[in-house]
């Protein structure tokens, strides 16, 4: 009983939220890339690993995979690269010798210490252009959508 047949419906990609989200996420990533890529030679997976290991004393590959929602192979390769550059080190866990405990090296901690403030500043600059109501609604919407899609870590 709709007035118009479905074929008359149209879709403007530029107004379609899923598309806009993809584009925005790519834009924000690019906006952020200068701090970890151009400056420290890290790509996104490597930066995520460093950011995840950073606050902790040690963690395993799969705990990183779980909290970053990256595929375990992507995590594995990022760690291997970081180890080759001596930014992290791996040691077999004593209680479960399948696991390998991952820690930042001294050089890794130095990069982490430099990188985090820059990344946070870049995030803050981004959010500063929003009005308080926009910011509030935006962050709330992020929460709600993450729960709706079961993305919470």
Partner DNA sequence: CCCATACGGTTGCGCGCGCAACCATTTGTG
Partner DNA sequence: CACAAATGGTTGCGCGCGCAACCGTATGGG
Count Cα neighbours of 76 within 13 Å in the Cβ-side half-sphere: 4
Contact in structure between 129 and 79 (CB atoms under 8 Å): no
How far apart (Å, rounded) are the C-alpha atoms in residues 104 and 88? 4
Task: By CB under 8 A, name the one of 34, 91, 107, 120 that touches its own copies.
Answer: 120
Q: How far is the CB of 40 from DNA (least distance, A)?
A: 15
If one asks whether residue 73 binds its own copies (CB under 8 A), the answer comes out as: no
Site residue total, DNA (CB under 7 A): 24
Contact in structure between 104 and 79 (CB atoms under 8 Å): no
Cβ proximity to its own copies, 91 vs 135, nearer residue: 135
Question: Which of 144, 139, 78 is CA-nearest to residue 90?
Answer: 78
Contact residues for its own copies, defined by CB under 8 A: 6-7, 9-14, 16-29, 31-32, 48, 51-52, 54-55, 67-69, 109, 112-114, 116-117, 119-120, 123, 126-127, 129-131, 133-138, 140-142, 144-146, 148-149, 151-153
């Amino acid at each position: 009983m709709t007035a118009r047949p479905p074929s008359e419906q149209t879709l403007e990609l530029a107004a379609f939220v899923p598309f806009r989200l993809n584009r925005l996420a790519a834009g924000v990533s690019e906006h952020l890339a200068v701090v970890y890529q151009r400056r420290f030679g890290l790509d996104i997976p490597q930066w995520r690993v460093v950011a995840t290991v950073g606050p902790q004393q040690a963690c395993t590959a799969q705990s990183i995979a779980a909290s970053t929602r990256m595929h375990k192979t992507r995590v594995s390769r990022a760690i291997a690269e970081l180890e080759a550059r001596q930014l992290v080190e791996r040691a077999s866990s004593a209680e479960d010798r399948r696991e390998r405990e991952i820690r930042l090296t001294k050089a890794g901690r130095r990069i982490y210490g430099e990188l985090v403030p820059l990344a946070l500043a870049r995030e803050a600059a981004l959010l500063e252009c929003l009005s308080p109501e926009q910011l509030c609604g935006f962050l709330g919407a992020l929460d709600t959508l993450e729960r709706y899609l079961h993305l919470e870590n």
